Structure 1
Amino acid sequence: MPLTTHVLDTMHGTPASGMRVELWNLDAEPPQLVRQVTLNADGRNPDGPLLDAASIRVGRWRLVFDVAAYFAARGVQLPQPPFLDRVTLDFGIAEPSQHYHVPLLCSPWSYSTYRGS
């Protein structure tokens, strides 16, 4: 099954269209950047899953969300340095046969995540 993400901007009540996201493989030595994407109008990767069923592997992974750059591009006045710059989520994939969905809900001052379906 695939690895997906979805980002919602809780300040504006919209998907985080245009946010940049990186996917890293933390088990590689040194850690390896696997993908960089810019989210579409729905706050998702326009090309589908970040990892498809053939590419997903057991291991440690990292998603990095460019939160400050996204809000600055939307015209939000941020302090310097911003309270949240890049949100980093480290997580593990133990069962590659399952769908791993890692959503992010964020504002310039807070974020939350969970393992979705």
Structure 2
Amino acid sequence: MTHLSTHVLDATTGTPATGVGLTLTGPDGRVLARGRTDGDGRARFADVLHPGVHRLTFATGEYFRTAGRESFHPEVVVTFGVDSAAHLHVPLLLSPFAYSTYRGS
């Protein structure tokens, strides 16, 4: 059984990215969950993920517009494979014109 969490940091302010919209999509393209990052820029998905390729979409354009800033990326989609790991963590380091992600712990 695999669970998923994420943490989004705004590199331009050096603070957690609060209120970023999230959509988790399963291997069949079905939306499994929606949510927003909390005050610490974090979100956890309680649903168990089954093996296959999943997508976590971050509504980055909306986040920057809400803050009165422009963004090159209207959304960031992180595509990742689920195997037998008990927990997956997807961090996102974000700025208006670039982003970075990796498999966290």
TM-score normalised by L of structure 2: 0.91
Q: Report the Cα distance in structure 1 between the residues aligned to 2:12 and 2:61, rounded to whole angstroms.
A: 13
Q: Report the Cα distance in structure 2 between the residues aligned to 1:23 and 1:12, rounded to whole angstroms.
A: 26
1:87 to 76, 86, 89: 76
Structure with the larger strand share? 2
The code of the aligned residue for 2:53 comes to R
Q: Report the Cα distance in structure 1 between the residues aligned to 2:4 and 2:94, rounded to whole angstroms.
A: 20
RMSD: 1.3
Q: Report the Cα distance in structure 2 between the residues aligned to 1:36 and 1:73, rounded to whole angstroms.
A: 19
Alignment correspondent of 2:16: 15
Alignment correspondent of 1:67: 60
Runs of 4+ with >2 A deviation: none
Q: Report the Cα distance in structure 1 between the residues aligned to 2:64 and 2:76, rounded to whole angstroms.
A: 13
Deviation at 1:3, TM superposition (A): 1.0
Secondary structure of the residue aligned to 2:72 is coil
Q: Report the Cα distance in structure 2 between the residues aligned to 1:3 and 1:38, rounded to whole angstroms.
A: 14
Alignment correspondent of 1:36: 34
Aligned length: 104
Query: Which segments of 5 or more consecutive residues in structure 2 lack a partner in the other structure?
Result: none
Q: Report the Cα distance in structure 2 between the residues aligned to 1:106 and 1:40, rounded to whole angstroms.
A: 16
TM-score normalised by L of structure 1: 0.83
The code of the aligned residue for 2:65 comes to A
Q: Report the Cα distance in structure 2 between the residues aligned to 1:4 and 1:112, rounded to whole angstroms.
A: 16
CA radius of gyration, larger in:
1
Identity value in percent? 40
